[in-house]
Amino acid sequence: MNLDPKVSAVKNRLKQVKRIIAVSGFKGGVGKSSIACILALLLAKAGKKTGLMDLDFNGDSCAAILGVKQEFPEEIFGLTPPIISGVKLMTPAFFSQKKAINLRGAEITNVILELAAVTQWGELDFLILDMPPGFADAALDIIRFMPQAKVLLVKTPSVLSKTLVERAQSVLKTLNVSIMGEIENLSARGLPYDDTLEAAYGNPEKLKATPLALALEKQIPKLFNI
């Protein structure tokens, strides 16, 4: 029969999570990770119980953005995510000792499942997922294992981003995944170009005070109905 028990375990681990938001952009480098991290910090600041899971195994960046040292999560009935400025964080960085993660598609699916099966989030209002770019195995598998996740699309005014987002929307439709909102990054109408961002990486308090964060904070009530 060869049944993988992890799939069932993931469901149990996510039972007390109210909303799962997959921050995705399909194009590389549009600001998904920066926005996912800052969004998580802002939700926590607003008093929401918030978790952040870095699912970009080939290019994880949440630990660097939030300035987390290599820190092995505490083990109690699984792994307890450390809390960074109010945000419960789980990332492959805790296991990779700063090495490049040289895993192939099916292997990434396995580790994502394994990590989701042992992470004890407890009660959460929001679990923010930092998604890998594109529609490779990992992105599709995450959607399959966490069907309750809703996508927050990050795009830029570039036509290159727009065409990808349009194609992504039609794929998501066929997969029955709902899009909960869109954020336009690097745009006068959305989140501005922010030259203070680089210096704020690694420091959650500074990140929350960047012009990018202030602009994002204004969008939160409408995006999340809170």
Partner 1 sequence: MHEWALSDSIASAAKEILEKENLKKVDEIVVVLGEVQDIAAKVFADIFNDVKKNYHGIEDAKLTVETEPAVFACLNCGNVFGLDRKGLNHATNEAIHFLPEMAKLYIKCPKCGSVDFKITQGRGVFIKEIKGDK
Ligand X SMILES: Nc1ncnc2c1ncn2[C@@H]1O[C@H](COP(=O)(O)OP(=O)(O)OP(=O)(O)O)[C@@H](O)[C@H]1O
* Contact positions vs ligand X (CB under 6 A): 25, 28-34, 56, 59, 61, 133, 185-186, 191, 193-194, 197-198, 212
DSSP 8-class letter at 147 = T
Separation CA 38–CA 62 (nearest Å) = 10
β-pair partners for 80: 74
The footprint of partner 1 (CB under 8 A) covers 1-9, 11-12, 72, 75-79, 92, 94-97, 99-103, 107-108, 110-111, 114-115, 117-118, 120
Output the smallest distance, CB 122 to ligand X, in A.
Answer: 27
Give the three-class secondary structure for 192.
coil
Separation CA 96–CA 214 (nearest Å) = 33
β-pair partners for 152: 23, 181
Pair of tokens at residue 109: 């699916």
Give the three-class secondary structure for 32.
helix
Output the smallest distance, CB 114 to partner 1, in A.
Answer: 5
Q: Using the minimum distance from each CB to partner 1, give the nearer residue, 54 or 184.
A: 54
Q: Using the minimum distance from each CB to partner 1, give the nearer residue, 42 or 116.
A: 116
Which of partner 1, Mg ion, ligand X, none sits in contact with 188, Cβ below 5 to 8 A by type?
none
